[in-house]
């Protein structure tokens, strides 16, 4: 009867307080603490009543509180070995917390699933869920969750390193060092993030104990020993018998590593005292390990009778632990849950997709109708406006092209007039130098020669020097005249002038060769223009082509003069070259000059074939 009234009071308390919005979290924490207390003293019925009341209260309508309450239910199921029910809640809760982005709870649920699979000795699944726990803890950025997750992941690597040293796991040196270093990294991160609160002492102690195990297997016994006593203090304060037994067991192994057999045996026996009367899975595992270690130390002390006895007890516990393992049950249930959840999610997704498609179809039809209406309203206006713009653009384009044509023609005429003026001036200067100045200098030279012969030996030395100066000046005048207008061109015509140009510009690096076919004399003005164009192209070959050979071909037919120039140089980008301003005529000026002569100018160039230039101009009829 007393218990009945106690249950009623608990239910009433929960129903009253859980409906209050303010302080809901604090109230829930106090209730969950009560559940843990009841679970600890095996008052499972009371704990379950409280949980059921919470689930029926207003607290169970808020998703974050639901997740917290369900975690308490998992803890109760775990103590009662109701693994299937617990895992179902955990898998479902993990799914919900991921969807709602409750990263803290996602970390908690992943952590608990990792613990279940760890107890079931399913290492791949343990690693999977502990890694998930750390991933969500990092997103949540909660120091306590981070420390739990680092500790869990560090424990996995420590277990591998432990199995390697015990000979149960084969791995190469790289894998072994990776497991060791990873274990050290995660445990040190655990100690860094752990909040220094009394309620966290147990996990803090586990981290220290694990570091002691790590240094033990790394043969750093003195370093491992330093972690022993502080770790025991943590667990004694919490009265945690399992961890006390485990820590003493490790301390015994460390003492054995330091060859202190007596202290080692004492630690092992102290360890055994804490678990000798317990029969749960963890206690059996602790006792099995202590029995194995006692057997080993007695064997080293040559006490084979005791060594055999403890080895027998250890083997008996190994079989018992194997029979208690729920590996298959846990793994199979997870597969069933995942399949069931997958089917449920697929069905929900299908229904949602069908509703979405229906709404999209309706919205699409409405949108199309609206668009058609808008298209009909604005179509005529748009077409009318486009037509007006098109007419305006065409008129503007015609005017621009006409203006551009006029500008181009004017520029070409100005350019050619300028070049023609320069050539006329150069020809005039050359004629003056050749016909007048050169003739006067020749005459002066003859007079000096006559005076020298008349005076014979009495001729002063100055006459000879003057004669030399006059002779040198005559040569320079002739060279200057030839530079301004080729004398070969004026005397013998374009064909011979080309041979003269090839000879003039050929050197050790490049050879020019001229070929002519049926070339006669043309009007002097035409020959000068063609000569200057070809000479400018030869200069371009010398400056830019890096060629070793060039050929100039002249051909006259049907009242036209055809010029072809080939070289084996590196070639160039014709379009870019035309844009650049060059000294002298340049390609653009040459093209303009030939255009004014009603001719054709074409140039092709590439790195493989060099440069090919083609000129075709009508030959002007000679004036009578």
Q: Does residue 405 sit within a domain?
A: yes
Token look-up 């870019």 returns 576
Task: Identify whether residues 493 and 613 lie together within a single domain.
Answer: yes
Query: In whole angstroms, what is the distance from residue 445 CA to residue 432 CA?
Result: 18
Closest C-alpha among 479, 519, 510, 486 to residue 500: 486
Per-residue H/E/C for 224-290: HHCCHHHHHHHHHHHCCHHHHHHHHHHHHHHHHHCCCHHHHHHHHHHHHHHHCCCCCHHHHHHHHHH
Both tokens of 240, joined, read 């945690």
Give the pLDDT confidence score for residue 350 in this predicted structure. Answer: 63
CA distances from 62 to 22, 51, 69, 85, 100 (A): 13, 15, 11, 22, 12
For residue 67, the model assigns a pLDDT of 82
The pLDDT value given to residue 567:
92
Which domain, by its residues, includes 512? Answer: 489-618
Q: Does residue 471 lie in a domain region?
A: no
Would residue 530 count as lying in a domain? yes
Question: Is 387 a domain residue?
Answer: yes
For residues 126-148, give the mean pLDDT: 86
Q: Clarify whether residues 409 and 524 are in a common domain.
A: no
Query: Percent of the chain beyond pLDDT 70?
Result: 70
Least confident of 246-250, 421-425, 458-462, 505-509: 421-425
- Partners of 563 in beta bridges: 554, 615
CA proximity to 585, closest of 511, 622, 535:
535
Residue 359 in any domain: the answer is yes
- Among 421, 436, 451, where does a domain finish? 436
Q: Between residues 179 and 410, which one has the greater pLDDT? A: 179
Q: What is the mean pLDDT of residues 347-376?
A: 80
Q: How far apart are CA 510 and CA 14, in angstroms?
A: 107
Q: What are the pLDDT digits (tens) for 179-189?
A: 888 888 888 88
For residue 123 the two structure tokens come to 């290492």
Q: Of 28-37, 60-69, 161-170, which range is least confident? A: 28-37
- Residues 614, 494 share a domain: yes
Report, as an integer, the average pLDDT of 74-81. 79
Considering the entire predicted model, what is its pTM?
0.46
Compute how many other C-beta atoms are within 10 angstroms of the C-beta atom of residue 37.
12
Q: Is the pLDDT of residue 599 over 80?
A: yes
pLDDT for residue 434: 56
Residue 126, pLDDT > 90, answer: no
Q: How close are the terminal C-alpha atoms of the chain, in Å?
A: 148
Q: What pLDDT is attached to residue 278?
A: 78
* Mean pLDDT of the region 520-546: 86
Average pLDDT value for residue range 246-271: 87
Give a yes or no: residue 542 inside a domain. Answer: yes
Number of domains in the chain: 2
Last residue in a domain, options 419, 436, 453: 436
* Whether the predicted pLDDT of 329 surpasses 70: no
Rounded to whole angstroms, the Cα distance separating 157 from 182 reads 6
* Cα–Cα distances in angstroms (integers) from residue 43 to residues 12, 37, 68, 389, 510, in the given order: 19, 8, 20, 90, 109
pLDDT band at 290 (very low <50, low <70, confident <90, very high): confident
Min mean pLDDT across 304-308, 410-414, 524-528, 574-578 is at 410-414
Give 3-12 pLDDT, tens digit per residue: 544 444 344 4
E strand segments, 546-597: 549-557, 560-567
Q: Residue 555 gets which letter from DSSP?
A: E
Q: Is residue 389 part of a domain?
A: yes
Q: In the predicted model, what is the mean pLDDT of the chain?
A: 76
Domain boundary among 436, 463, 478: 436
The pair of structure tokens assigned to 204 is: 């803090």
Residues 393 and 493 in one domain: no
What mean pLDDT do residues 590-596 have?
Answer: 84
Predicted confidence at residue 607, as pLDDT, reads 79
CATH number for the domain that contains residue 563: 3.30.565.10
The pLDDT score that the predictor gives to residue 614 is 93
Query: Does 400 share its domain with 498?
Result: no
Q: Is the pLDDT of residue 25 over 70?
A: no
């Amino acid at each position: 009867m007393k218990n009945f009234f106690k249950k009623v009071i608990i239910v009433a308390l929960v129903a009253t307080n859980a409906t209050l919005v303010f302080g809901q979290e604090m109230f829930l924490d106090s209730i969950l603490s009560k559940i843990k207390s009841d679970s600890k003293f095996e008052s499972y019925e009371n704990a379950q009543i409280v949980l059921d009341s919470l689930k029926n209260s207003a607290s169970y309508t808020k998703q974050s509180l639901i997740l917290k309450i369900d975690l308490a239910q998992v803890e109760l199921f775990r103590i009662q070995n109701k693994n299937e029910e617990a895992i179902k809640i955990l898998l479902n809760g993990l799914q919900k917390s991921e969807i709602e982005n409750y990263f803290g709870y996602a970390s908690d649920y992943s952590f608990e699933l990792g613990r279940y699979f760890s107890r079931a000795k399913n290492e791949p699944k343990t690693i999977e869920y502990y890694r998930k726990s750390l991933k969500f803890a990092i997103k949540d950025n909660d120091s306590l969750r981070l420390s739990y997750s680092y500790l869990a992941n560090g424990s996995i690597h420590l277990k591998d390193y432990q199995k390697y040293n015990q000979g149960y796991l084969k791995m190469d040196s790289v894998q072994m060092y990776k497991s060791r270093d990873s274990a050290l990294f995660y445990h040190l991160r655990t100690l860094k993030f752990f909040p220094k609160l009394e309620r966290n002492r147990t996990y803090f102690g586990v981290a220290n104990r694990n570091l002691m195990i790590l240094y033990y297997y790394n043969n750093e016994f003195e370093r491992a020993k330093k972690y022993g006593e502080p770790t025991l203090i943590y667990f004694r304060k919490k009265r945690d018998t399992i961890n006390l037994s485990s820590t003493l067991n490790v301390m015994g192994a460390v003492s054995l590593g330091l060859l202190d057999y007596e202290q080692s045996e004492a630690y092992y026996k102290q360890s055994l005292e804490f678990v000798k009367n317990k029969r749960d899975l963890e206690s059996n595992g602790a006792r099995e390990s202590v029995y194995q270690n006692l057997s080993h130390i007695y064997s080293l002390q040559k006490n084979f009778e005791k060594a055999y006895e403890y080895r027998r007890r250890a083997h008996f516990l190994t079989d018992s632990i194997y029979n208690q393992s729920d590996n298959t049950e846990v793994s199979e249930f997870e597969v069933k849950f995942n399949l069931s959840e997958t089917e449920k999610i697929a069905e929900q997704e299908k229904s949602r997709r069908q509703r979405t498609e229906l709404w999209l179809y309706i919205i699409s039809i409405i949108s199309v109708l609206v668009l058609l209406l808008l298209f009909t309203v604005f179509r005529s206006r748009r077409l009318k406006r486009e037509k007006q713009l098109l007419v305006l653009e065409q008129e503007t384009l015609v005017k621009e092209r006409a203006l551009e044509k006029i500008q181009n023609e004017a520029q070409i005429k100005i350019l050619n007039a300028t070049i023609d003026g320069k050539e006329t001036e150069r020809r005039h200067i050359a004629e003056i130098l050749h016909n007048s100045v050169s003739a006067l200098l020749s005459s002066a030279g003859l007079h000096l020669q006559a005076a020298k012969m008349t005076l014979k030996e009495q001729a002063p030395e100055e006459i000879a020097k003057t004669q030399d100066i006059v002779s040198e000046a005559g040569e320079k005048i002739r060279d200057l005249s030839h530079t301004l207008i080729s004398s070969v061109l004026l005397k013998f015509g374009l064909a011979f002038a080309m041979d003269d140009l090839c000879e003039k510009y050929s050197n050790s690096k490049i050879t020019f060769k001229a070929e002519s076919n049926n070339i006669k004399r043309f009007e002097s003005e035409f020959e000068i223009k063609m000569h200057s164009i070809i000479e400018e192209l030869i200069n371009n070959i010398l400056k830019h082509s890096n060629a070793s050979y060039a050929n100039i071909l002249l051909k006259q037919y049907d009242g036209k003069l055809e010029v072809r120039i080939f070289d084996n140089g590196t070639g160039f980008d014709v379009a870019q070259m035309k844009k650049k301003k060059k000294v002298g005529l340049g390609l653009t000026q040459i093209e303009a000059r030939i255009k004014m002569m009603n001719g054709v100018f074409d140039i092709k160039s590439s790195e493989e074939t060099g440069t090919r230039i083609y000129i075709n101009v009508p030959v002007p009829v000679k004036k009578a």
